[in-house]
């Protein structure tokens, strides 16, 4: 049985996750994350997932502190951006799965990341079938 959006409503919790990944490890890390998370939630998107489409992140030393102005050195790094939308009832489970998956990836691929940036948004999802006539 396929459930429609009406069965759950259109509200979703969207996670946007940024983590530093060495350029040479992008594809392996993104595939690892996708294989771990997709079965739990149906799918996800990863931006910067291969060496041809990497994203660059910029931050200043001390950025994890709340300040009006940062005076540290500017750091540039290659990042992955994981986007995962889940039903509201799965928000805590999704956060736990994201955290454990990224921690396992960090160990598996010897990532030198220290902080992972996670944002959550309440969004409304809409879908349409492009195979249908308009």
**What pTM value is reported for the model?**
0.84
CA distance 90 to 119: 15
Instruction: Look at the domain 11-119 and name its fold.
Output: Alpha-Beta Plaits (3.30.70)
**Cβ burial 59-73 (10 Å sphere, 16+ → b, else e):** beeeeeeeeeeeeee
Terminal-residue alpha carbon distance, the chain = 25
Confidence of residue 59 (pLDDT cuts 50, 70, 90): confident
Mean per-residue pLDDT, 40-64: 83
- Of 21, 15, 17, 16, the closest CA to residue 106 belongs to 21
């Amino acid at each position: 049985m396929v459930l429609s959006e009406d069965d759950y409503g259109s509200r979703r919790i969207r996670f946007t996750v940024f983590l530093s990944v060495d350029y040479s490890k992008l594809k392996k890390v993104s595939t690892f994350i996708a294989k771990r998370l997709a079965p739990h939630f149906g799918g996800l998107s990863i931006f910067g997932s291969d060496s041809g489409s990497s994203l660059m992140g910029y931050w200043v030393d001390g950025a994890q502190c709340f300040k009006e102005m940062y005076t540290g050195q500017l750091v540039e790094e290659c990042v992955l951006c994981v986007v995962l939308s889940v039903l509201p009832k799965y928000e805590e489970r999704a956060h736990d799965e994201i955290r454990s998956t990224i921690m396992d990836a960090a160990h598996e691929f010897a990532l030198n990341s220290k902080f992972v940036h996670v944002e959550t948004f309440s969004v409304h999802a809409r879908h349409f079938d492009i195979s249908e006539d308009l």
